[in-house]
Amino acid sequence: MSVLKAFHERYWGSVRESIDALMSHEDFNPFAADMIRYQLSTGGKRIRPLLVLMTSEAFGGDIDPCIPFAATVELIHNASLVHDDIQDRDTTRRGRPSAWVAFSTEQAINLGDMLFVLGFEAFAGMRVPDALKLDVIKLTIRAIGELVDGQIYEFVLKERDEVSVDDYFRLVSGKTGSLFRLALAGGHALASDGRRLEREMRTLGELVGALFQLRDDLLDVLGRKEGRPAGSDVGEGKIAFPAVHYMSTAPGPDRKRLVEILRLPRDRTDGGAIAEVLGRYREKGSIRAAYDAYASRREQILSLDVLGAHPALRERIAEVLEELDPGVEVKDL
């Protein structure tokens, strides 16, 4: 059994009970509760909250106080997904209508806000010293700021005719890396009663977040993303790694053509335009470059000193990386 599945089977029920308890009092709006349950039912690997538990266990911590914090991480992640779907006009989320489609844009905004609020209410169930709880709350506030900053930066980059690889990783650091940093740094803090290795855990989270996003970008262009056709990121005009690599290496007219396609309204980006872009990526080596960037981040993660110094943590992270392997043959790129 995979490590993520094992932790999911052992602990996800408790995390979900922690979330349900937040909505159980009689004054809680039942329609809000229905929207929250709908959003959470869309599934996913739950990798971020599970990383909280894996990290704490690897450092010899008690799982019980980590359950409410894992709920916090999951609630904040879903809040960001709800708002992200609205801004990107994504109509589906893991094969189901996105919240704004199911309930209206106005109610989805409220849903996302409520999920952020509940993320902080979950701290009430965390049985740890007040000073430690405050430390983890501070980590959470910082992560949300980084997350929103990444979301803002994505729209800044969409207005640019040229986007560099450095721009891409700054975007990913906020939008994706923020919650991986929170999960790992928070899980460590709860296990060690402090933030002794905060810098090292944030570095680990930064790299895992980048690897996760690169894998996502790679699976998209190869048509291996569950429930989505190849090149969906192109149709949505997303700032993905293959697009950035192509912008950084293609001649001016070719780069201009890519930008034109990425900026087309979604209902005007047909299969022919997407196929054209995917062909250009392959010819220019942009898909292979995405894989090389993924492989580089994987090597960086496994060579980190903090993993060398903490074998239990290294074993857990190595197992997670195995599960995040895109299963790509280099010869096919």
> In sequence order, what DSSP letters do the residues of 53-67 get, joined into one string?
HHHHHHTT--STTHH
Tell me how long the chain is.
333
- The amino acid at residue 106 is E
Q: Distance between CA atoms of 316 and 311, rounded to whole angstroms?
A: 9
Burial 10-44 (b: 16+ CB within 10 A, else e): ebbebbbebbeebbeeeeeeeebeebbeebbebee
C-alpha Rg value of the chain to the nearest Å: 20
Burial 67-78 (b: 16+ CB within 10 A, else e): bbbbbbbbbbbb
3-class DSSP state of 96 = strand
Can you read off the two tokens belonging to residue 315? 């074993």
Q: Distance between CA atoms of 320 and 226, rounded to whole angstroms?
A: 19
Domains and CATH numbers, the chain: 1-127 (1.10.600.10), 134-333 (1.10.600.10)
User: Quick one: which H or E segment has residue 141?
Assistant: helix 130-158
CB neighbours of residue 313 within 10 Å: 25
pLDDT at residue 221, as a whole number: 94
pLDDT at residue 1, as a whole number: 66
Q: Distance between CA atoms of 42 and 33, rounded to whole angstroms?
A: 15
* Three-class SS of 151-218: HHHHHHHHCCCCCCHHHHHHHHHHHCHHHHHHHHHHHHHHHHCCCCCHHHHHHHHHHHHHHHHHHHHH
Contact 201, 306 (CB under 8 A): yes
96 beta partners = 93
Enter the DSSP assignment of 328: -
pLDDT along the chain (333 residues), means of 10: 85 94 88 94 88 96 94 97 93 90 97 96 93 96 98 95 95 98 97 90 97 96 85 91 95 92 84 92 95 97 97 95 88 75
CB neighbours of residue 160 within 10 Å: 12
> Is 201 buried (19+), middle (13-18) or exposed (0-12) by CB count in 10 A?
buried
pLDDT at residue 230, as a whole number: 87
Return the residue matching tokens 């090292």. 200
Sign of CA dihedral 147, 148, 154, 157: negative
Q: For the chain, first and last CA: distance in Å?
A: 30
User: Where are the strands (E) in the chain, listed by range?
Assistant: 92-93, 96-97
pTM of the model: 0.95
Phi, psi of 93 (to 5 degrees): -135, 110
Q: Distance between CA atoms of 299 and 207, rounded to whole angstroms?
A: 10
Contact 66, 190 (CB under 8 A): yes
